[in-house]
Amino acid sequence: MYGIIVRLSNGARATRRGAFTARLRVARPLPSSWIVRIQRTMRTIILGGTGFIGKALARLLSGQGHEVVVPSRRPEKVPAALGRGVLGAPFDGVTGAGWAEHINADTAIVNLAGENIAEGRWTPDKKRRILDSRLDAGAAVMDAIRQAAAPPAVLVQASAVGFYGARGPEPVGEDAPPGANFLAQVASRWEASTQDAEALGVRRVVARTSMVLGRGGALAKMLPPFKLGLGGPLGAGTQMVPWIHLDDEVGAMAFLIATPGLSGPFNLAAPEAVDSRGFARALGRALGRPAFLPAPGLALRLLLGQMAEEVLLSGVRAEPTRLLAAGYRFRHPSLADALADVLGRA
C-alpha cells in the first residue's frame, strides 16, 4: 500500500484570502465541462498512489506543477515510478505514522489501497489478503485522522460496484442495498472501514468504481486474444459489464473532492449500459477483428473458481445517477469512443 500527498499550488488565481481557483488539465485539450475548479488551497493524500488508478490521479495533478508526495515502504523509489515532481515519504501500511502530520483542515484524503481482486484463483489466503488489505488501509486512514491536529476537509473512500452483488439487466442506483456474495461483503466492509470519519466531522464520499478502461488494468489482459481474432463474450454473454474510462475515473474523483456539498455513495460508471456480448463486439470493432468466440463459463469456473463466477460471469448495471445529478459531465460517455481513445494511445 502506498499514498500520495498533493498540494494544489501552481496555475492558481487568488480569489480571497486562503482561497484560489485551480484548473486540473491533461495533455490533450478538454471540453470546458471537464475542467475542475477547486475553490481553496488543499492537500490531497491518496492511499494506493502507485496503483493503476492512483498513478493516473497523481500524474494528473503533478503534471500541473502541484506538489506530490507518495508515502511508501520504499519512499526513495517513488520519484522514479511517478516522475520527478513526486517525492516519497515513509508509510508502514497500517497506521498514520509518517504522513498524518500532513493532514489539516484543507486536506483531502483518497483511499484507493487494496489487493487486486482479478489476479488468479481465489484461494482462502488470497481472499484473506483481498479483505485484510482494504481493512488495513481503512484503519491507517482512521489512525491518521485521529492523530491530525485538525480533521481533513474530505475523504474519498474507494469501493466497487461489486457492492451490489450479482444482478440482472435492471438499472441499479446508489440507493440499492448490498449483495450477499464475497465481493459484496468485501466492498461493504471496505466502505465501513472509514465510516467513523463522519462522526469526526469529515465529509465522506464513497466512490463505487466499475471496470476502468485505460492502458493497463483489465483491458490489457483482454487484448491478446482479441488481437488474434479469438476474443468474444464470457459465458452466456448476458451479464452486464459496467465500465468507465480512466480519464473519467480520475476526473470524477477530482470533481467529488472539489464539490463541497457532495457526500455518500457515487457509482463511477459510464452512462452507456452494455452486456458482455456487446462489450466483446465493441472491442472487436475497435481492433478490426472478429469477436464471436465465447469463453465457456464452465471452463472459466474450472480454471478460476469463485473469482470467475463473481468477477467474470456475473454483473450489475450500475448507473451514475448521483454523479450526473451533481453535474459531472463524462468525457467518454460511449464505449466505442472510450475504446478508440485508449487503443489510439497504445
Residue 199 sits in which domain range? 3-212+244-271+318-331
In a domain, 19, yes or no: yes
In a domain, 308, yes or no: no
Over residues 194-233, the pLDDT tens digits come to 999 999 999 999 999 999 999 999 999 999 999 999 999 9
In a domain, 299, yes or no: no
In a domain, 279, yes or no: no
Q: Is the dihedral of CA 125, 144, 48, 211 positive or negative?
A: positive
pLDDT band of 9, cuts 50, 70, 90: very low
Would you say residue 28 has pLDDT above 80? Answer: no
Task: Report DSSP state, residue 129.
Answer: H
What does the alpha-carbon distance between residue 129 and residue 77 come to, in Å, rounded to a whole number? 24
pLDDT of residue 4: 40
In a domain, 280, yes or no: no
Over residues 143-155, the pLDDT tens digits come to 999 999 999 999 9
Would you say residue 299 has pLDDT above 80? Answer: yes
In a domain, 305, yes or no: no
Count of structural domains within the chain: 1
For 222-291, give the secondary structure using H, E and C. HHHHHHCCCCCCECCCCCECCEEEHHHHHHHHHHHHHCCCCCEEEEECCCCCCEHHHHHHHHHHHHCCCC
Q: For residues 14 and 62, is the Cβ–Cβ distance under 8 A? A: no
In a domain, 293, yes or no: no
Q: Domain with 113 in it: what CATH number?
A: 3.40.50.720
pLDDT band of 66, cuts 50, 70, 90: low
**Residue 316: Cβ within 10 Å count:** 29
In a domain, 193, yes or no: yes
